[in-house]
Amino acid sequence: MAAALLSLFLLNVINPTIPALRCDGTRLLDPSISHKFRGDTVTVSKLLSVTLLFPLVQIFITEWFYNRDKRNLYIYGPPESSRWRRTLIHTSRWYRDYFFGIVFMLFLNDIAKTSVNSPRPHWIDSCKPNFTAEACNLGWVDEYNCTNNDISNWKLADARKSFPSGHSALGFFTAIFMTMYQHRRIRKQSLGPVVLVWLHTMWIGWAIFCALSRVADNRHHPIDIAFGGFIGAIGGIFTATVLCGGFGKPMKAAGYQNKVVSGMNGSATIVDGFPSNGNTTTVALPPGTNGGVRHNHHDNKRPSLRRLLSTQSTMTQMSEIAEDRELDSL
């Protein structure tokens, strides 16, 4: 992690070579880099605020309500502290992987910026190149000096790092990661599908606005934001699926018998599939399930709806225990 941050810092202080300019003997003939500098609609401070702070707040709130009705059977203490502990464990896990994904995605993005050495649309306005007429008669000007003393050397170097767009990459990374997180962790029964779609739209809309503003501000070419958005989307998908493991995997019905062994007096023991350091956990099964006490012996031919619901409830409880154990072991 420290090496990635150091590499990211070093890449931002490397000055790419000055790009060659095309001219016809009297004037420059490259309109794609002859636009005026207009500033930034989405500044770096705004971008970092949305990228780093908003997801943290939303993840914490989501995990607080996600753990509202859960009872962790192996964490001792009152229910209030147990809920806080589960919320903090979940939040720190998801946000840690989210931050790691951002750092490495920006690292790859800056490698591309420094390697490609593509001038921004406002390069001539920011540089104000000074070259001789003899050099311009050759059609291309490879050697010239920038005469604009109103900007710093860092900004002048940044004006030669147009491809790909870092704003677009960050915007789409956050949007894809958060939409996948929301789809997996927000309970649709509580908020409804309309609210969930609205939250997805807000994040995707932010990414699109952030990318298009870079073209409107003459800070990037269209191909820059397209490729930057692609890098960010791939990074968001990779982080959500690989680093975060899909935000918790529910127990499958096919593996239910492998996870629970029926016991006496309505109990069941978890024996495998969970990172529990070799320990087993015994939980109560509802009457009518395997190992439970069934008072009516005439229902063997056809299971009742109550028994099916009880079995499903037990499976859900097993899934919650497994997820809590996995996160608690980190």
Report pLDDT digits (tens) over 150-166.
888 888 888 888 899 99
Cα 87–Cα 92–Cα 93 angle in degrees, nearest 5: 100
pLDDT band at 31 (very low <50, low <70, confident <90, very high): confident
Mean pLDDT over 228-241 rounds to 94
260 and 230 in one domain? no
Establish how many alpha carbons lie within 13 A of residue 245's alpha carbon, considering only the half-sphere containing its beta carbon. 10
280 and 165 in one domain? no
204 and 102 in one domain? yes
- Establish if 33 belongs to a structural domain: no
- Establish if 92 belongs to a structural domain: yes
Q: At a CB cut-off of 8 Å and minimum separation 6, what does 235 contact?
A: 101, 102, 104, 105, 108, 169, 173
Query: Contact, 144 vs 21, CB < 8 A?
Result: yes
pTM higher than 0.85: no
213 and 96 in one domain? yes
176 and 71 in one domain? yes
Question: Buried b vs exposed e over 294-324: b needs ≥16 C-beta within 10 Å?
Answer: eeeeeeeeeeeeebeebbeebbebbbbbbbb
Q: Which two tokens stand for residue 134?
A: 């003899």
Over 60: is that where the pLDDT of 83 sits?
yes
pLDDT band at 294 (very low <50, low <70, confident <90, very high): very low
Question: Which residue(s) pair with 70 in the sheet?
Answer: none
Over 90: is that where the pLDDT of 168 sits?
yes
232 and 94 in one domain? yes
d(CA 302, CA 147): 88
d(CA 132, CA 25): 9
Burial label, 272 (beta-carbon count in 10 A; 0-12, 13-18, 19+):
exposed
238 and 267 in one domain? no
Torsion of CA 190, 195, 200, 203, to 10 degrees: -110
For the chain, what is the domain count? 2
d(CA 36, CA 216): 11
d(CA 147, CA 149): 6
307 and 177 in one domain? no
Question: Which residue(s) pair with 269 in the sheet?
Answer: 261, 282
C-alpha to C-alpha distances, 115 to 108, 110, 118, nearest whole angstrom: 11, 8, 9
Query: Looking at residue 143, what is its pLDDT?
Result: 79
Q: Which two tokens stand for residue 68?
A: 């509202």
Query: Each residue of 170-220: pLDDT tens digit?
Result: 999 999 999 999 988 887 776 777 888 899 999 999 999 999 999 999 999
> 26-35, 156-165, 270-279 — which one is most confidently predicted on average?
156-165
- Establish if 24 belongs to a structural domain: no
- Establish if 311 belongs to a structural domain: yes
d(CA 67, CA 85): 10
Establish how many alpha carbons lie within 13 A of residue 32's alpha carbon, considering only the half-sphere containing its beta carbon. 11
Query: Looking at residue 101, what is its pLDDT?
Result: 94
Q: Which domain holds residue 106?
A: 41-117+160-243
Determine what percent of the chain falls in helix, strand and coil, rounding each to the nearest 5: 60, 5, 35
Burial label, 30 (beta-carbon count in 10 A; 0-12, 13-18, 19+):
middle
d(CA 253, CA 258): 10
Query: Contact, 108 vs 231, CB < 8 A?
Result: yes
Q: Provide the percentage of residues in the chain whose pLDDT is more than 70.
A: 63
231 and 83 in one domain? yes
Instruction: Dump strand ranges (E) for the chain.
Output: 21-22, 129-130, 140-141, 145-146, 260-262, 267-270, 281-284
Q: Which two tokens stand for residue 170?
A: 């960050």
- Single-letter amino acid, residue 170: L
309 and 196 in one domain? no
264 and 172 in one domain? no
Query: Looking at residue 207, what is its pLDDT?
Result: 96
